[in-house]
Amino acid sequence: MNLTLKIWRQKNAKEKGQMVDYKIGGIEPDMSFLEMLDVLNNELVEKGDDPVAFDHDCREGICGMCSLFINGEAHGPDRGITTCQLHMRKFKDGDTIYIEPFRAKAFPVIKDLVVDRSSFDRIQHAGGFISVNTSGNTQDANNIPIKKHDADRAFDAATCIGCGACVASCKNSSAMLFVSAKVSQFALLPQGRVEATERVLNMVEAMDQEGFGNCTNTGACEVECPKGISLENIARMNREYLAASVK
Ligand code: SF4
Ligand code: FES
């Protein structure tokens, strides 16, 4: 396949960026999107040009690092996958592909396609954990029976990989889907109830401080989420927050 790539290039957080055109050839349909960018970067390096900076780590849909906005969609045109799982067979010979970083005030660009998502880390630090005494007093997990329905819902919420596609897809740059997944994975389990009140209050406060927008129930986040995190988590977090606020 021969392609035209229009890629956001930005030297650093302070300088203005711009879209730059690249022609690329010899791309196989079975290559992943990131492998296609590797081919481009090899060519740029051979010419002595600066390679395109982009985030990646596991390249198998687990780590949540590969945060690209492709042809106007977070993680590109496929559903239920991350950018590293996107294959070039989704595109046609001769296509023009627009590649941009995830855009949000709370995700400032570091370089080219790499954004700073440490705001997510700070929200996690505010309450995305349970405090457990691990000094030999832990009980067997099977001592606490949990309804299958609740266990499944908690597990579904726990599959959020913190990629930020929900924020990038939202017209308000809201982080509600991410935060609600992190609240729900504990709220549904007895182990998570102990600190449930402080957790939801602290995580929502941290989310607001980071400059994420409000949720207006558009649902774009759910559509673009590679892990199928459901909007029902946002409804659950709102209930948790209301109950915690009146305590
Ligand atoms: S809710 Fe989905 S889109 Fe948002 S960070 Fe988690 S996995 Fe990514
Ligand atoms: S590189 Fe880890 S999810 Fe894509």
183 C-alpha to ligand 2 centroid (Å): 23
Confidence of residue 22 (pLDDT cuts 50, 70, 90): very high
Q: Give the pLDDT confidence score for residue 135 in this predicted structure.
A: 77
Across 140-165, average pLDDT: 94
Confidence of residue 136 (pLDDT cuts 50, 70, 90): confident
Q: Is residue 128 within 6 Å of ligand 1 at its C-beta? A: no
Cβ–Cβ under 8 Å, residues 138 and 132: yes
Give per-residue pLDDT as tens, 187-232.
Answer: 999 999 999 999 999 999 999 999 999 999 999 999 999 999 999 9
pLDDT at 95 over 80: yes
Ligand 2 atom nearest residue 161's Cα: 3
- The span from the CA of 143 to the CA of 145, in Å, is 6
| Beta carbons within 10 angstroms of residue 76's beta carbon | 23
Helix (H) or strand (E) holding 46: helix 33-46
42 C-alpha to ligand 2 centroid (Å): 20
- The span from the CA of 228 to the CA of 219, in Å, is 12
Q: Give the pLDDT confidence score for residue 89 in this predicted structure.
A: 97
Query: What type of residue sits at position 144?
Result: I
Residues 6+ apart with CB under 8 A from 192: 130, 154, 185, 186, 199
pLDDT at 138 over 80: no
Residue 133: how many CA atoms within 13 Å on its side-chain side?
A: 6
64 C-alpha to ligand 2 centroid (Å): 5
Helix (H) or strand (E) holding 172: none
Q: Is residue 168 within 6 Å of ligand 1 at its C-beta? A: no
Q: Give the pLDDT confidence score for residue 218 in this predicted structure.
A: 96
Query: What type of residue sits at position 232?
Result: E
Cβ–Cβ under 8 Å, residues 128 and 182: yes
Q: Give the pLDDT confidence score for residue 142 in this predicted structure.
A: 85
Ligand 2 atom nearest residue 83's Cα: 4
- The span from the CA of 67 to the CA of 60, in Å, is 13
pTM of the model as a whole: 0.95
**Average pLDDT across the chain, whole number:** 96
Give per-residue pLDDT as tens, 47-81.
Answer: 999 999 999 999 999 999 999 999 999 999 999 99
pLDDT at 141 over 80: no
- The span from the CA of 10 to the CA of 111, in Å, is 5
How far is CA 59 from each of CA 64, 84, 102, rounded to the nearest angstrom? 9, 5, 18
Confidence of residue 139 (pLDDT cuts 50, 70, 90): confident
Q: Give the pLDDT confidence score for residue 98 in this predicted structure.
A: 98
Residues 6+ apart with CB under 8 A from 242: none
Confidence of residue 159 (pLDDT cuts 50, 70, 90): very high
Q: Give the pLDDT confidence score for residue 222 in this predicted structure.
A: 98
- The span from the CA of 42 to the CA of 69, in Å, is 22
Least trusted range by pLDDT, from 34-38, 136-140, 176-180, 193-197 = 136-140
